[in-house]
Each structure stands twice: as structure tokens, then as C-alpha cells.
Structure 1
Amino acid sequence: MAIASYIRKNFVLFGALTANLGIAVAKFVAAGMTGSSSMLSEGFHSVVDSLNQVLLLYGEHRADRPPDREHPFGYGRELYFWAFVVAILIFSVGAGLSVYEGYVHWVSPEELTDPTINYIVLGVAFLMEGTSWGIAIREFASTKGDQGWWEAVKQSKDPSVFIVLFEDSAALAGLIVAAVGVWASHYFDAPRLDGLASIAIGLILAMVAVLLAREAKGLLIGERADFALIERIRAVVDKQDWITAVNHVRTVHTSPKQVFAAISADIEDEVTMGEGERLIEELEDQLREAVPELSSIYVRPEKAEDAASPPGE
């Protein structure tokens, strides 16, 4: 039962991993039979993507560990670390090998052979990658709400979904470039064009890697929750009749679906320390009910005039 639940939770990752493993084997076979540089680059691309999915699944597993003495807020950010590693792998291995192979085949082009097997493998790969891309699109669309696609990526706190979306988009673009490279090299009888296609695939991967690294870095450093969630917290606190002012609400994601909130509030002078403790406990219960994402809450009684001006919530 636990295994089935784990697979459902990470359906996007398992779908992408299955597709990439099968595609990688087919691409390497085709590259070996035809000597195509762009097909070899695509093979490396699929291997890197497969390794990326394994790392993200490992990160998901590690992030699910409960808090302990050493990590009182849990291990959720470990997923963000592995997302950053994935971006580095795409850049260094995927993009690096593709550009290198392209350069080698540009300098020393191989004799052209029948490209039929390349077209078959590329067609099958496009169908499989397209299926994985469709799954990632549906999953991401179900969580982005009314936001635009790019804005949703920037605001997303779950890298396992948007990384697969980026990878599959890059894979589809790479397959198109590889197909054009194979066709052009035969049509113009110019083997060097296949090497040029390999370099283009490497540049696509490098661009995707830079975008992913930027997003993963922000998550790793620590990003606030979205404004809608912050306003829900503020509304619950503001409606308490013993609180005269909400000075600020500061949040940070400790995992994709867990948020730590630090709240500064001005409390009525008549409230005693004993009453304040009881009222704050009740407030925390109300907040957890209204905002299930809250994993930790810190409420600081503080005069409005003494509260530090927040840089942004």
C-alpha cells in the first residue's frame, strides 16, 4: 500500500524515468549503427535525464523524513539540494558531452549511412517523450491555478514537477533538432551538419540547466510562501479580538508543502501572561486548521512601534 502511494505521489517522475531509459537504449543502438553524432548526443541526453529522475526520487524520499534533534524543521529542503544537483548535471554532462561530440564530428565527420533507423528511433522517442511531457503538463496545470505558465514556474515550490516539464520540453526540442540534423546531413551530403545539430542540442540543454539552477537556488536559499497564503494567515490573526495589530507575517518554505510562519502581533495590554499563552495556543490551532501547510508557527507579542519594519512578506 505504501509503495503504491509513493508511486502515485511521484507518478510524473516514474513516467519520465521509464520513458527515458527505453529511449536511451534505442538512441545508442541507432547511433552505433549509423554513426550519427546528434543521435549519440540524444542518447547522452536521455541517460542524464534518467539519472536526474533517480536523483529527484531519492531527494523526495530523503525529504519525507520526520524532524529530529539535528533538523528540527525537517528535511524538506534536501529535495531542493538534489534539484540543484540535477541542474549541474544537465549543464556539465548533458550539454558538455553534446557540444564535445558535435565538435568532434564537425572536425572529423563520419561517412553517412542509411538514416532510416534514426528516423524510426526519433519518431518513437518523440511519442514517448511527448507522453511524458503531457503527463508533466497536466500535473503542473492542476497546481498552477490562474497564474501564467512562467509565473507559475517561478512561484512553484515543488521542483520535481517543473524540472520534468523543462527536461521533457528540452528533450522534444532536441529530438526535432536531431531529426533536422540527420535529414540535412543526408540531403546536402554534408556530415558536418549532424555535428552542428549535436552542438545545438548541447546549447539547448545548457540554457535549460541555467534556468533550472536559478529556480533551484532560490528554493535552496529559502523562499516565502505565496501572498495568498500569507493573507490567509494575516486574516486569521487579525480577527482575534485580543490582538490590536498584526505587525508582520514572515514565512519560508521548509519543503514544497510545508511552511514556517513567524508572526509579530500587538496584544492588548490587559492580557496577562497566562492568558496570552492560552490565547496563542488557540490561535495556533486556528491557523493550522485554516492553513494546513503550516508546519511550524512562531507568534511574537510585540508593540507595533517596536516591531522592525519588514523587508517584504
Structure 2
Amino acid sequence: MSAQGGTRAVIAALLANLGIAVTKFVAYLLTSSSSMLAESIHSVADSGNQALLLLGGKRARRAATAQHPFGYGRERYVYAFIVAIVLFSVGGLFALYEAWHKWSEPHGITNWQWVPVTVLLVAIVLESLSFRTAIKESNLIRGRESWSRFIRRSKAPELPVVLLEDFGALVGLVFALIGVGMTLITGDGRWDAAGTAMIGLLLVTIAIVLAVETKSLLLGEGAEPAEVAAIERAVTGGPEVEGIIHMKTLYLGPEELLVAVKVAVARCETAEEVARGIDAVEERIRAAVPVARVIYVEPDIYQAQAGPSETAGQPGS
């Protein structure tokens, strides 16, 4: 669900940004507005970012190999991190440089004065449609989570990236509209430069947020508390296991969770009984948490703590 929804949102954003980038750049050529140039580069960067997300999703579907036995699911995180770098450098830093340049040499908009306002208004409509698609697809998997928590905790990077990019694009268009509008009213090009600077600061902020969240996914995140609780109930939900000694989880990709659990089994069980019990535990885990696709269950003998000087209470070897 999240992969398909993320792809639809990315494609919608890509189509919108390609059309917007062309119109913004034409408006810049006609008016020499720095806000329009910053917005043009912003849309070009966003289009490239969405292409990177689509490429990352395609490469992540490659089959596992001997060198990469757990597959390539995390490649989606790698490309999402590259997106953050592109947004920071190509989008944010370029806009800040252009703002400084325009502030140093301000000039008003004297030609085709109606063009930038028209282009910005049309861009706001197109970006709103793209943003609506991202919100619709996110709501299918967000549940009752707040938007901030969804962006921070989502294991699929595409939807949070598109949400933040579209939100940043809409706010940036408003900044550009204010800068261009005040420049047209006052004839002072520094308003245009100020709008450009606000766009740059906004993009840098969004890029930093994306980089921090994607870095956490690259380092490796475990299952959410609700998923951990469901797995624990599944492990102990039958007579095969006396208890959980310890358990670790790790997301190998947005839709693939690794579960490694050491369980306590009865001393009197035969190897055949233990094997059947492990199979039953694995089946219950997959039923409770479908993304738990790689499961390792290690049986062990666990003794209750008997005293401070005794070694009981430690798992067997």
C-alpha cells in the first residue's frame, strides 16, 4: 500500500513540477525576477528529486544476492538522503545566493509585469493539486497519527519527502508572490530579493529535516512499539514458548522487518517438538505483523534467578 501510494504521489508531483518549472523559467526570462529564478531552480530541483525517488524505488525491488543477502530495500533511503542534499544545495543555497546578488544590485520589474503574478497563481493551483494527492495517499496509511509523527516515524520515505516538498513549494510560492507583488507596487527590487531569501531559508530548513529523518532510517530503525507488542503477543500466544529471553527488530526496508528472538522452551521437549513450535511461532508473527518477513527464532533453556552467587537466571549456551 505505502509503495504504491508513494509512487502515485511522486508521479503526480513530478508532472506538476515539470510544467511549473518551464512556466517559471519563461517568466524569469521575461521579467528578470530573482524570485522567479529561485522558484524555477526550486521546481527543477524538485523534479530531479522525484526522478531520484522513482529510481530508488525501482532499484530497491532488485532480488537479494550473495553479497546483499537481505536485498536492496534500504536503497530507497539512500536516494531519499540524496534528495535532501539536492534540495539543500541546488534549491536552498542557490536561492540564498541569488537573494544576496539581487539585494546588492536591486532592480524593479519593468517588463511583462503581469506574467510573474499569473505564473505564480497558476503554480499555486498545480502545486495544491499535487499536495492534495500526497495528502490523500498519506491518509491511507497514516491512521490517527499526527502529521509530524507520520513524517518522523514513516518507514517509507517517498510520502514524507513529497509532502514536505509540496508544502515547501506552496509556501515558497506565497513568498515569491509577496516579493514580486511588493516589487511591482513599490518599484523596489529588494522586495524581490527578500522573497528569494525567504524561499532559500525555507528550502534549507526542509532539507535539514529530511536529512535528519532519512539518516535515522539509513542507520537502521526497529519496529514501532505497537508492532513490538504485537510480535511479543504472537510469540507467547501459544504453548510452544515459556517466555521471551530477548528480542531485536530491524527494518531492512520500508516493507520488510527482520525479527530475531530468543525464546525459552521446556527442557523435556524433543528437537522435533521444538522445530514444530518454532514454525508455529513464525506463523503467528507473520499473521500479526505482515511486514515481518525475515524471522529468526532461537530456542533456549531459561532458568529463574536462584541467588546472587549462582549462575542460574542466564540463558543456556
User: What does residue 73 of structure 1 align with?
Assistant: 70
Q: Please say if 1:119 is aligned against 2:117.
A: yes
Tell me which amino acid in the other structure corresponds to 2:314.
D
Q: Which moved more, 1:224-233 or 1:89-98?
A: 224-233
- Deviation, structure 1 residue 245: 1.0
Identity %: 39
Q: Please say if 1:23 is aligned against 2:20.
A: yes
Q: Please say if 1:90 is aligned against 2:90.
A: no
Cα-to-partner distance string for 1:114-136 (whole Å, 9 max, x where unaligned): 42100110011000000000111
Distance 1:155 1:16 in 2: 22
- Deviation, structure 1 residue 240: 2.0
User: What does residue 155 of structure 1 align with?
Assistant: 153
Tell me which amino acid in the other structure corresponds to 1:97.
F
User: What does residue 46 of structure 1 align with?
Assistant: 43
Cα-to-partner distance string for 1:22-54 (whole Å, 9 max, x where unaligned): 000000000110010001000000000000000
Of the candidates 175, 178, 181, which is equivalent to residue 177 of structure 1? 175
**Across the two proteins, how many residue pairs are aligned to each other?**
303
Q: Is the 8 A contact 2:14 2:51 kept in 1?
A: yes
Q: Please say if 1:306 is aligned against 2:303.
A: no
The 3 A distance-change label for structure 1 pair 71 and 156 is same
Of the candidates 294, 297, 300, which is equivalent to residue 296 of structure 1? 294
- SS of the aligned residue for 1:298 comes to strand
Runs of 4+ in 1 over 6 A off after TM superposition: 6-9
- Deviation, structure 1 residue 9: 6.3
Q: Is the 8 A contact 1:259 1:295 kept in 2?
A: yes
- Where do residues 97-116 of structure 1 align in structure 2 (5 Å cutoff)? 97-113=94-110, 114-116=112-114
Of the candidates 204, 209, 212, which is equivalent to residue 211 of structure 1? 209
The unaligned stretches of length 5 or more in structure 1 are: 1-5, 309-313
- Deviation, structure 1 residue 307: 5.4
Distance 1:221 1:8 in 2: 25
Tell me which amino acid in the other structure corresponds to 1:193.
W
- Deviation, structure 1 residue 192: 1.5
Tell me which amino acid in the other structure corresponds to 2:247.
V
Distance 1:301 1:11 in 2: 43
Larger Cα-atom Rg? 2
Q: Is the 8 A contact 2:155 2:253 kept in 1?
A: yes
User: What does residue 311 of structure 1 align with?
Assistant: none
